Amino acid sequence: MGRARALFREQAASWGVPPEVTETAELLLSELMTNAYRHARVPAGREIWARCVVTEDRVRVTVTDANGTLPIAGTASLDDESGRGLALVAALADDWGAEGREWGIGKEVWFELTLRSGR
């Protein structure tokens, strides 16, 4: 997960993504990568991928894994040490979702953030 965050941070800086958007996107990317790693339970040889696309007004980050089970936001109690990742994504992202991959195996979980500051 650290490598994905570092690569994202570097690429976002090269694209001129505002720091506050980069910080939020990096946090949410980490949540989605962690969820994929913990819950996807993919066969050996399958990988987890992250992709980032920046348009004039939005950044979209997609995490893809080979497990077709769509994530469900859980309800964590105050004492739980995990289980808040998708709630965090829902609270901080301007939009997010999950769907089966267009070309077959697995799913994509994504979020979008508006580029509030000028680029």
Interatomic CA distance for residues 76 and 69, integer angstroms: 20
Interatomic CA distance for residues 110 and 28, integer angstroms: 9
Share of the chain above pLDDT 70, in %: 82
In the structure, how many helices (H) and strands (E) does the chain have?
3, 4
Mean pLDDT score, 41-67: 86
Mean pLDDT score, 19-41: 90
Report whether pLDDT(82) > 70.
no
pLDDT band of 36, cuts 50, 70, 90: confident
Interatomic CA distance for residues 112 and 90, integer angstroms: 10
Q: What are the residues whose beta carbons fall under 8 Å from the beta carbon of 9, sequence distance 6 or more?
A: 22, 26
Q: Are 66 and 40 in contact (CB under 8 A)?
A: yes
> Tokens 């267009």 sit at which residue?
102
pLDDT of residue 45: 66
Half-sphere exposure of 85 (CA within 13 A, CB side): 22
Mean pLDDT score, 14-33: 95
pLDDT of residue 118: 47
Q: Which domains does the chain have, with CATH numbers?
A: 2-114 (3.30.565.10)
Report whether pLDDT(39) > 90.
no
**pTM to 2 decimals?**
0.84
pLDDT band of 1, cuts 50, 70, 90: low
Mean pLDDT score, 28-52: 83
